[in-house]
Copies of this chain bind each other. A is one copy, B any other.
Amino acid sequence: MVKVLIIEDEPNMVLGLKDSCEYEGYEVSVARDGKEGLEKASTEKVDIILLDVMLPMMSGIDVCRTLRTRGIETPILMLTARSQETDKVVGLEVGADDYVTKPFSIKELLARIRAHLRRAAKQVVELDSFTFGEVELNFKKYTARKAGKALDLSAREFEILRYLIRHRGEIVTRDQLLDEVWGYESNPVTRTVDNHIARLRQKIEPDPSEPRHIITVHRLGYRFIE
C-alpha cells in the first residue's frame, strides 16, 4: 500500500489533496503544521510527502531540511502559493525532489506523485531475474540459460552482469566495476575487467565479435543494453 503524507494547514487544500490521493488508491496521513509533519514523517513509514511551504509552527523549507539532515530520504514534493523562482531554487537546494506551484491541476500533481513513486520503486526492487535476447538469468538461484540451454557462468560473471544490468543504459566504468563488484579501492592498470567482459561476451552475445548487449564506450567503460 502506498502511503502519502500531506503536510498542509489550509483545510480546503487538505480535503482536495486527500480525496484525490485516496481516489488514486493511496493511504493518506495528514499533518496540519510543520512540527506535526516533521514528526509524522520521521515516525510513520511514508512513501511520499506533499509539503506546503507556508505552514504554521515551522516552514516547509525547514521541515524539508530537517528531514534530510536526519537522513530521511522519502521523496518530497513541495507545494507553494508563490510562483517565485527563488522558492523553487531554495526548495530544491534544501532537498525537495520536486516543486509544484499553486494553483496546480490535480492531474498534474498526481502524475508527478506517480513519477516519484515509480522512481523510488525502481531503486528498491532487487532484481532476481532478468531476460534479454535469448538469455535468461536468475540471480537468486545463480542459473542462466541461453536459447533454453543451460549456460555456465561463474560467480564473478554473474556479479558483473548483475551490476551492468542494474545500471543498464548507463555507462559503467572499469573503476566502478572494480569498486562495486571486486571491492577494490583502486587498482593500477589491470586488464582484468576487460578479460571478464570478453569472456562474458563469448557466453552471452549472439555474435561475440559484434556485441549487442555489452557495448564498449571508448575511454569510458561499458554500457549494457537490453
Contact surface of A with B, Cβ cutoff 8 Å: 1-2, 24-25, 59, 61, 65, 84-87, 89-90, 92-94, 113-114, 117-118, 121, 125, 140-143, 154-156, 169-171, 217-220, 223
CA distance A86 to B113 in the complex (A): 9
CA distance A25 to B25 in the complex (A): 35
The answer to whether B2 and A90 have CB atoms under 8 Å apart is: yes
The answer to whether B94 and A114 have CB atoms under 8 Å apart is: no
The answer to whether A25 and B85 have CB atoms under 8 Å apart is: no
A24 → chain B closest CB, angstroms: 7
Q: Which residues of chain B have C-beta atoms less than 8 A from A24's C-beta? A: 86
The answer to whether A142 and B171 have CB atoms under 8 Å apart is: yes
Cβ-closest chain B residue relative to A122: B89
Cβ-closest chain B residue relative to A142: B171
Q: Which residues of chain B have C-beta atoms less than 8 A from A217's C-beta? A: 142, 155
Q: Which residues of chain B have C-beta atoms less than 8 A from A90's C-beta? A: 1-2, 25
Q: Which 9 A-B pairs have the closest CB atoms?
A: A155-B219, A86-B114, A89-B121, A142-B171, A141-B170, A85-B118, A155-B220, A2-B90, A141-B169
A225 → chain B closest CB, angstroms: 11
Q: Which residues of chain B have C-beta atoms less than 8 A from A142's C-beta? A: 171, 217, 220, 223
A79 → chain B closest CB, angstroms: 15
**What are 8 residue pairs bridging A and B, where the CB atoms are less than 8 Å apart in the complex?**
A1-B90, A2-B86, A2-B93, A25-B87, A84-B114, A85-B114, A86-B113, A154-B219
A96 → chain B closest CB, angstroms: 13
Cβ-closest chain B residue relative to A155: B219
Cβ-closest chain B residue relative to A54: B25
CA distance A201 to B2 in the complex (A): 48
CA distance A142 to B143 in the complex (A): 32
A183 → chain B closest CB, angstroms: 14
A92-B125, A142-B171, A156-B219 provided; 7 other pairs, C-beta below 8 A?
A2-B89, A24-B86, A25-B90, A89-B121, A154-B219, A155-B217, A155-B218
CA distance A217 to B138 in the complex (A): 15
CA distance A92 to B126 in the complex (A): 13
